[in-house]
Amino acid sequence: MDETDKKILNLIQTGFPICEHPYAEIGSKTGVSEEEAFGRVKSMVESGIIRRLGASFDSRGLGWTSTLCAMSVPKDQIERVASIISEYPGVTHNYERNHKFNLWFTYIAPDEEAVLKTLREIEEKSGYGPVYNLPMLKKFKIKVNFQFKEKAGGEAGK
């Protein structure tokens, strides 16, 4: 990543422009053309630097339900089971942990019935279970923003 990529990342993590030409605005604020801004973001998505580009909604505010889920999966099956989990559009992310319950994911659905149905499907498709449904009891919101900075002398830093 060069200095311009870092400027773009700093901008779009919490301030993606909501307008007719968002990449023109990103480009204007980072000193590149609309086409170059779009190309840089596309390249960062394709290379995996950007994992997800999209809005975050308050699922409860929309009347939906969300939950944290945990499973115990043999180490050699983690990738396969994670792929099955990732097929569901309501899964926001999944990750491996160093614990007896080593595969965790979050899931959002219209209601509790849909959550339970999907968790049973995941058990059936993966061959592992149970999938523990751990709904939120108290909301804690942790916001993480990464600030990409330059090194002294204008060189892009890590």
- 78 and 46 co-located in one domain: no
Q: With cut-offs at 50, 70 and 90, classify the pLDDT of residue 126.
A: very high
**Domain stops at, among 16, 37, 55:** 55
Give domain status of residue 146, yes or no: no
Q: How many domains does the chain have?
A: 2
- 100 and 127 co-located in one domain: yes
Q: Which of 114, 120, 123, 132 is nearest to 59 (CA)?
A: 114
Give domain status of residue 145, yes or no: no
pLDDT (0 to 100) of residue 18: 92
CATH number for 23: 1.10.10.2890
Give domain status of residue 15, yes or no: yes
- 48 and 70 co-located in one domain: no
pLDDT (0 to 100) of residue 12: 93
- 36 and 75 co-located in one domain: no
- 87 and 46 co-located in one domain: no
User: Which one has a higher pLDDT value, 153 or 8?
Assistant: 8
Average pLDDT of the residues in 19-45: 96
Average pLDDT of the residues in 11-26: 93
- 118 and 91 co-located in one domain: yes
Average pLDDT of the residues in 51-77: 87
Structure tokens belonging to residue 95:
């990750």
Give domain status of residue 95, yes or no: yes
Task: Residue 76: give the domain boundaries.
Answer: 65-135
pTM above 0.85, yes or no: no
Residue-wise pLDDT tens digits, 98-111: 999 999 999 999 99
Torsion of the alpha carbons at 103, 109, 114 and 116, rounded to the nearest 10: 30
Element (H, E) at 115: helix 112-126
- 82 and 35 co-located in one domain: no
- 43 and 94 co-located in one domain: no
Tokens 């699922």, residue located:
59
pLDDT (0 to 100) of residue 139: 76
Give domain status of residue 152, yes or no: no
